[in-house]
Amino acid sequence: MDRLINLEPSSEVVIRIEPTQKCRGELTLRNVMYTMPVAFRLDPVNRLRYAIRPRSGIIAPLATLLVEFTYLLPLDSPLPDSLPRCDDRFLLHSVVVPSASLKVPASISDSIPGEWFTNKKKQVFIDSGIRIFFVGSAVLARLVEDGLMDSVREVLERSEPEWRAVDSVDSEGRTLLHLAIAQCRPELVQLLLEFEPDVEAADRNGRTPLEAAAAAGQALIAEILIARRASVERSRGSDLGPLHLAAAAGHAEVVRLLLLNGAAVDAPAADGRTALRLAAEGRRHDCAKLLLKAGARVDARGGADGGMPLHAAAAGGHEAIVKLLLTRGAAGVKEVRNAAGLTAYDLAAEGGHVRMLDALRLGDALATAARKGEAQAAARLVDRGAAVNGRDQHGWTALMRAAFKGRVEAIRVLTYKGAELEAKDEDGYTALHCAAEAGYAEAVEALLKRGADIGARTAKGATAAEIAASHGYDGIVRILARGSTAPLVEKQRGGDVGAKKGKEREGRRKKSEIGGSDGGRVAVRNGGRFHRARAAVEVAWSQ
């Protein structure tokens, strides 16, 4: 026989550590003797750390006795270095006491003389195999932070079901899922999910695990949580939802995942800002593209300033996002004012973001000045920062507009300011093609004098001479044929009249041919190889 007492359910005492609670565990001692009582004494090696009750006693034959272990953990003291199993040792002395008289049928306790366990006895059994196994929220939090998956699993399995150990929180209010996400450990998240935690449990900041994963850019973890039916929308206690957090941090993969799983693209944050607004604030170009593709509104207002995404991008000097927004519908809200009465242009100007001024206002003003032939206004706008080669939403430059309207003086000023003669629109038209198509001989001559390429071809392969010929502008055809730099008709007092005097008037085109409804340039073959829809072009260029 190697022992008188069995330890149940095992030689490990499970002690639960919880803040502000008594840290205790239990162990059952069973007398294995059929006919004789057994006396015991149980001592911790470190008596300052543990209290045991009862420390000693007599157990009747085949009877049991429940012993309580208390771990004396002072408030705010650190956890043991070794978790979940502790290195602390205990000594269990046991001895047969045939003549013992029990006061109760099963056992008596804390009344055993110490000399019973000395060498005077014939045989004293000593068991040193008792160990402590710690469980509880603080223990689990430490193990999760350390990434010890096997230990995490064992602690969860040995915790009582009613404790809901998997929903434990640390001293900062973070759940185990939040801690695993902070470690960027999807396999640890998956382990915790096996024990069915509350996937909507928020941390002290009100963020759910999915919101935490989105903020951290953990796409795989986010996908795992969504598969467990985590909500993709903002939780009640959070200022920002998963989509807002991912967009603000520039996590495009998470943004895409959330949108694919039904996240509302224009759902407001607590302060009313949308994910697109947050992407604009944070220079998150890829996220902004995804949100716009998903239908995000460019005119959604929010935040303390009551601004739109364009206001935010302009104020922050985010040129690429400003241009992106303008091409996706924000051109129509460029002059909308925020709560302070400022437009996107005003905010960019205040911030010294000069390169944006063209896109936000000066470019439009330059296009208008070029179309109207206001040469001096065009010069001033370029000097103030308007991009002389900037393009509008149709891909047209100011020089193309001036050429199409026959504004000779504007052509001179723009080319002097550096306008590219060979810049092409989406149909491959240069300014020379535009002047030839519109029938303005002086504009053609002005462009040739500045060095325009007579042989330049459109996307459909047409030269300026071929376009003029298709319209019956014989005079322009002759000018182009000889590469003429004939004297220009000078601008006369009261306005730019050169364009009017130089216009081909051969009776082949009526004014009604250039009226009509709005539209873009459309290539057609109507009696000639190179006609484009005149009404559509004229209206679009007059905008």
Least confident of 96-105, 422-431, 486-495: 486-495
Counting the structural domains of the chain, the total is: 2
Q: SS3 breakdown of the chain: % helix, strand, coil, rounded to 5?
A: 40, 15, 45
- What integer pLDDT is reported at residue 354 of this predicted model? 85
**439 with 477: CB under 8 angstroms?**
no
pLDDT exceeds cutoff 70 at 503: no
Per-residue pLDDT band at 496 (split at 50, 70, 90): very low
Exposure b/e, 365-382, CB count within 10 A at least 16 = b: bbbbbbbbbbbebbbbbb
Closest CA to 310 of 239, 297, 259, 386: 297
Q: What percent of the chain has pLDDT over 90?
A: 71
State the DSSP string of 197-237: --TT---TTS--HHHHHHHHT-HHHHHHHHHTT---SPPTT
Per-residue pLDDT band at 382 (split at 50, 70, 90): very high
CA 399 to chain centre: 41
CA 102 to chain centre: 72
82 in a structural domain: yes
- What integer pLDDT is reported at residue 505 of this predicted model? 36
Look at the alpha carbons of 151, 154, 160, 161 in this order and tell me if their dihedral is positive or negative: positive
pLDDT exceeds cutoff 50 at 507: no
| Distance between CA atoms of residues 259 and 52, nearest Å | 58
Angle at the Cα of 271 (from 247 to 218), degrees rounded to 5?
25
76 in a structural domain: yes
- Largest Cα separation within the chain, whole Å, is 139
Closest CA to 83 of 4, 136, 5, 25: 136
Instruction: Name the more confident of 147 and 73.
Output: 147
Give Cβ neighbours of residue 160 (< 8 Å, ≥ 6 apart).
none
List C-alpha distances in Å: 536 to 188, 305, 402, 508: 62, 40, 17, 19
Answering whether pTM is above 0.85, one says no
Structure-derived torsion over alpha carbons of residues 91, 95, 97, 100, reported in degrees to the nearest 10: 0
352 in a structural domain: no
CB-facing half-sphere around the CA of 143: CA atoms within 13 A: 26
Q: What is the pLDDT of residues 308-317, one digit of tens each?
A: 999 999 999 9
Per-residue pLDDT band at 538 (split at 50, 70, 90): low
Tokens of 132: 């402590």
15 in a structural domain: yes
**Final residue of a structural domain among 73, 102, 135:** 135
Listed in sequence order, the DSSP H helices in 165-208 are 176-182, 186-193
Strands (E), 251-309: none
Most confident of the following: 117-121, 221-225, 390-394: 221-225
The single-letter DSSP state of residue 331 is G
Tokens of 244: 């807002």
Q: What is the mean pLDDT of residues 179-187?
A: 97
**Final residue of a structural domain among 72, 107, 135:** 135
pLDDT exceeds cutoff 50 at 521: no
- What integer pLDDT is reported at residue 180 of this predicted model? 97
Q: What is the pLDDT of residues 244-263, one digit of tens each?
A: 999 999 999 999 999 999 99
Q: How many helices (H) and strands (E) does the chain have?
A: 24, 11
The type of residue at 176 is: L
Q: In terms of residues, how long is the chain? A: 543
| Distance between CA atoms of residues 439 and 434, nearest Å | 9
Which uninterrupted H or E stretch holds 378? helix 375-384
Per-residue pLDDT band at 107 (split at 50, 70, 90): low
408 in a structural domain: yes
CATH for 88 = 2.60.40.10
pLDDT exceeds cutoff 80 at 409: yes
CA 480 to chain centre: 56
Least confident of 377-381, 393-397, 436-440: 393-397
Q: What is the mean pLDDT of residues 297-311?
A: 96
pLDDT exceeds cutoff 70 at 470: yes
User: For residue 417, how many other CB atoms are within 10 A of its CB?
Assistant: 18
Residue 456 φ then ψ, to 5°: -60, 140
- What integer pLDDT is reported at residue 47 of this predicted model? 84
Least confident of 70-74, 75-79, 190-194, 306-310: 75-79
222 in a structural domain: no
Q: What is the pLDDT of residues 160-173, one digit of tens each?
A: 999 999 999 998 99
Q: What is the mean pLDDT of residues 278-285?
A: 97
- What integer pLDDT is reported at residue 495 of this predicted model? 36
Strands (E), 277-348: none
| Distance between CA atoms of residues 406 and 394, nearest Å | 19
pLDDT exceeds cutoff 90 at 97: no
Average pLDDT, the chain: 86
CATH for 470 = 1.25.40.20
102 in a structural domain: yes
130 in a structural domain: yes
Domain assignment of residue 76, given as a range: 5-135
**59 with 31: CB under 8 angstroms?**
yes
pLDDT exceeds cutoff 80 at 533: no
pLDDT exceeds cutoff 80 at 196: yes
| SS3 label, residue 532 | strand
User: For residue 9, how many other CB atoms are within 10 A of its CB?
Assistant: 9
Beta bridge partners of 38: 59, 96
- What integer pLDDT is reported at residue 483 of this predicted model? 75
pLDDT exceeds cutoff 80 at 512: no
User: For residue 67, how many other CB atoms are within 10 A of its CB?
Assistant: 21
- What integer pLDDT is reported at residue 110 of this predicted model? 62
**Final residue of a structural domain among 69, 101, 135:** 135
CB-facing half-sphere around the CA of 160: CA atoms within 13 A: 7
- What integer pLDDT is reported at residue 185 of this predicted model? 96
Tokens of 346: 């005003």
The type of residue at 249 is: A
Instruction: Name the more confident of 117 and 281.
Output: 281
